[in-house]
Amino acid sequence: MPFQTLLITLVALLIFSYFIGHKRSIAVSTLHKGRRNLHSRPHYYGYMVAIWAGLPALLILFLWSAFSASMVTSLTISGLPDSMQLKTHDELGLIINEVKNIIEAGQISNETDLVKRNAAIHYQRLHNISSLAKTVVVLVAALLGLLLSWRMIKPETRARNRVEAVVRWAMIGCASIAVLTTVGIVFSVLFESLHFFQSVPASEFLFGTKWSPQTAIRADQVGGSGSFGAIPLFLGTLLISLIALLIAVPLGLMSAIYLSEYASKRFRAFAKPTLEILAGIPTVVYGFFAALTVAPFLRDVGESMGLSVASESALAAGLVMGIMIIPFVSSLSDDVISAVPQAMRDGAYGMGATQSEAILQVVIPAALPGIVGGVLLAASRAIGETMIVVMAAGLSAKLTINPLEAVTTVTVQIVTLLTGDQEFDSPKTLAAFALGLGLFVITLLLNVLALHIIRKYREEYE
């Protein structure tokens, strides 16, 4: 049976099992002094039977489907004549692809190459066996589960608790998917970075001040051997993020204070979502806004004051990025400020504090952990932001902290390293993984730092 048919059959069986379990539990209960003697309500017995019938069978079905193709392929390869076994991995892959094409086109009998023809026949036979075996095993598992759980329906069976346990494992499964994905990404970035550090020494990457990743593609080409000093990139990232935070933190915090403490309910109901829209504008829009409006404006203003401002300046990118991340600061801060109990404010007012004194001296300190959290989120966002800086900050890796000059950032370089056709084992492309790892480590350190700050300065109310 093909996958879809088998799946539909299983689902049908699952629904059927539910009703069987439900019915059976009622029948059993009438034999044993009525339903009140049943440990769980009948639908729990239904769920239990459905889970037993469906869950193992579905698991087998998915695992089998996931691994059968590669199993069949490797069995076909080992079935090839001895002469073919000497070929390289890539060549074998090509042959297998050809074989598969032959089968799909239905041209087995027309194939003239005897080796390929035999391989195709072998492949198809293995495939059919696997498919049949899958169908049988899955259906047997489902029916076995149904039968076993059907026999378990007794008044003292704790169907409710069994269902609860399955629900619990389902939750754990969902949670682990997120965690495992994160771990997987970290390790993949880590290993590719180690790969990179085999061709470029880590000391050069970490402490070098020259970044020009253009390497010769072929050995006979003229061209640089590339230099991979990442300092200018990280400096550029930090410079632009710093400018962005200098804009976003005061503006965001002040608007949060205004919205939560001073604004009328009606104004707040309208202004808060409006402010949050800022985070919803696509970054590419911010990007061309920065490149086409803000950067030229800054250049003109700079000229009129006798300053030379690059047409793609760190200041322009940082300003626009700062506006973009305002909601990250304001929205979270607004929530935590509103969550500070009224009793705190009353206490301060009762001592003769003005509203702003109460806010600055009592409410903000009490809300500090949440505010730091918001700022941190904004900082991570600024460090990882790509589109605005690609369009507005420039590509040249200059070692400078002058915000009026063009700088480049880690994310911009990752983009330029990986756009277009690339070899995936050249230092140039692998450098992107090392840069990604660097960004990850920085964000992680920021988190640790923020946790430390929160723990040290938190003022717990209640």
Which positions lie near another protein, rule CB under 8 A?
A: 341, 343-354, 357, 361-362, 365-366, 459-462
109 three-class SS: coil
48 three-class SS: helix
Work out how close the CB of 365 gets to another protein at its nearest, in angstroms, rounded to a whole number. 7
CB nearer to another protein: give 140 or 343. 343
CB nearer to another protein: give 366 or 432. 366
Token code pair at residue 36: 């009140």
Q: Which residues of 286-313 are buried (b: 16+ CB within 10 A; e: fewer)?
A: bbebbbeebbeebbeebeeeeeebbebb
DSSP string, 12-79: HHHHHHHHHHHHHHHHHHHHTT-GGGSSS-HHHHHHHHHHHHHHHHHHHHHHHHHHHHHHHHHHHHHH
CB atoms within 10 A of CB 90: 7
Work out how close the CB of 337 gets to another protein at its nearest, in angstroms, rounded to a whole number. 14
Work out how close the CB of 331 gets to another protein at its nearest, in angstroms, rounded to a whole number. 23
User: Who's near 454: CB < 8 A, 6+ residues apart?
Assistant: 368, 369, 372, 373
CB nearer to another protein: give 30 or 361. 361
Work out how close the CB of 336 gets to another protein at its nearest, in angstroms, rounded to a whole number. 13
CB nearer to another protein: give 105 or 351. 351
CB nearer to another protein: give 235 or 348. 348
Work out how close the CB of 345 gets to another protein at its nearest, in angstroms, rounded to a whole number. 8
Size of the chain, expressed as the number of residues it contains? 462
Work out how close the CB of 361 gets to another protein at its nearest, in angstroms, rounded to a whole number. 7
Work out how close the CB of 358 gets to another protein at its nearest, in angstroms, rounded to a whole number. 10
CB nearer to another protein: give 56 or 365. 365
* ∠ CA 64-65-66, rounded to 5°: 90
80 three-class SS: coil
Token code pair at residue 110: 């027309």
Work out how close the CB of 377 gets to another protein at its nearest, in angstroms, rounded to a whole number. 23
User: Who's near 244: CB < 8 A, 6+ residues apart?
Assistant: 318, 319, 321, 322, 324, 325, 378, 382, 385
**228 φ/ψ angles, rounded to the nearest 5 degrees:** -120, 55
CB nearer to another protein: give 223 or 350. 350
CB nearer to another protein: give 120 or 257. 257
CB nearer to another protein: give 176 or 361. 361
Q: How far is CA 330 from CA 268, 271, 323, 334, 451, in A?
A: 12, 11, 11, 6, 20
User: Who's near 409: CB < 8 A, 6+ residues apart?
Assistant: 233, 236, 237, 240, 389, 393
Work out how close the CB of 376 gets to another protein at its nearest, in angstroms, rounded to a whole number. 21
CB nearer to another protein: give 104 or 462. 462
Work out how close the CB of 260 gets to another protein at its nearest, in angstroms, rounded to a whole number. 15
User: Of 372, 378, 380, which Cα lies nearest the Cα of 451?
Assistant: 372
Burial class of residue 195, CB neighbours in 10 A (0-12, 13-18, 19+):
middle
